[in-house]
Amino acid sequence: MTRILLIEDDTETAEAILAELGDRGFEVQWAGNGVDGLDRARASSPDAMIVDRMLPGMNGLTIIETLRKDHIRTPVLVLSALGAVDDRVRGLRTGGDDYLTKPFALVELVARIEALLRRPTERRATRLQVGSLELDLIERTARRGERRLDLLPREFRLLEYMVRRNDQLLTRAMLLEEVWHYKFVPATTNLIDVHMGRLRHKVDGPGEAQLIHNVRGSGFVLRSRS
């Protein structure tokens, strides 16, 4: 069972996160302050950690720094009410692996934790395959069974990102940050949906099993099995 350590001082937020992650089958430990959190992180070596930035006793970033100095490489998702780009950069530079601004959607939190737990497929691979979908990373071509997919470079980039993280919920924010390198929220809110619509149209032909799924209100998944 995957074990997660949550270091968060706000009881209500913590309870909501505990309940949601519990429902998803995670075993979650909760520490209400920084000192306790650091002790538990050292003692129980969890698989992933969720750390609030502003904590009584010890700053969240200090905890991460301390752990990294001790060569504890547990993936950390930083939670913060500080949303500015600079704060985010500082959070990631300190050793956090991902950064989520409060307030956040629970699905977003779960998606990011799952992404942290499941590192993407080996980077050096030259071919990727999910079901009948095949990507040639050198030729930059894609096939669905016998059918050759005619993809634009931006569509190939998106598909490659999804294939590397198949069966994983990818939220719009994650796609914006990772595929388009957006550092801001675009005014047009359906930007990702339009791109995804195009890609899905090309990947899932008529009569073929659907690979790209829209998860209502959350994001998208590329499912290897239906």
Partner 1 sequence: MPQTQLIRSSTFLWALAVAASFALFVVALFAFIYWKLDAYLVARSDRMITTQISFVAELSPARRVSAIADHLAQDSRGVQYAGLFDAAGKRLAGNIDRVPRELGLDGAAQGVQLDLSEKPTAHSPVVRAVGRRLDGGDVLVMGRNVDETREISSVVGQALALGLLPAFSLCLLAGVWLSLRAQRRVEEVNQRVQRIVAGELRERLPEGGTDDPFARLARIVNGMLDEMETMINALAGVGNDIAHDLRTPLTRVRLALERGRTHAATLEQLQDVTDKAIAGIDQSLAIVTALLRLTEIENNRRMAGFGEVPLDEILREVCDVYEPIAEDKHVGLGVVTERSVQVWGDRDLLFEAVANLVDNAIKFTPSGGRVELALETEDDTALLRVSDTGPGISEQEREAVLRRFYRSDKIRSTPGIGLGLSLVAAIVKLHGFRLIIGPAPGGRIEILAWTGRAGRAITHRSRALLHADAGQMG
Q: Which of 12, 86, 139, 146 binds partner 1 (CB under 8 A)?
A: 86
Told to check if 187 binds partner 1 by CB under 8 A, we report yes
Which one of 40-48, 79-87, 133-141, 204-212 is the stretch in contact with partner 1 (CB under 8 A)?
79-87
Told to check if 156 binds partner 1 by CB under 8 A, we report no
Paired strand residues for 29: 5
Q: Which of 195, 200, 213, 223 binds partner 1 (CB under 8 A)?
A: 195
CA 176 – CA 170 distance, rounded (Å): 10
Q: Which of 35, 84, 209, 215 binds partner 1 (CB under 8 A)?
A: 84
Told to check if 201 binds partner 1 by CB under 8 A, we report no
- To partner 1, the closest distance from the beta carbon of 189 in angstroms equals 8
Q: Which of 44, 183, 205, 215 binds partner 1 (CB under 8 A)?
A: 183
Strands across the sheet containing 133-136:
127-130, 133-136, 141-144, 147-149
**Cα 26 to the center of its chain, rounded Å:** 16
Tokens of 55: 């904590």
- To partner 1, the closest distance from the beta carbon of 141 in angstroms equals 19
Q: Which of 1, 69, 71, 85 binds partner 1 (CB under 8 A)?
A: 85
Q: What is the footprint of partner 1 within residues 92-111 (CB under 8 A)?
A: 101, 103, 105
DSSP letters of 22-78? HHTT-EEEEESSHHHHHHHHHHH--SEEEEESS-SSS-HHHHHHHHHHTT----EEE
Told to check if 185 binds partner 1 by CB under 8 A, we report yes
- To partner 1, the closest distance from the beta carbon of 44 in angstroms equals 34
- To partner 1, the closest distance from the beta carbon of 183 in angstroms equals 5
Torsion of CA 180, 185, 187, 193, to 10 degrees: 50
Q: Which of 194, 205, 209, 210 binds partner 1 (CB under 8 A)?
A: 194
CA 212 – CA 120 distance, rounded (Å): 17
CB 60 within 8 A of CB 81: no
Q: What is the footprint of partner 1 within residues 120-149 (CB under 8 A)?
A: none
Residue with Cβ nearer partner 1 (119 or 154): 154
Residue with tokens 């949601």: 20
Task: Name the site residues for partner 1 (rule: CB under 8 A).
Answer: 83-86, 101, 103, 105, 154, 180, 183-191, 194-195, 197-198, 217
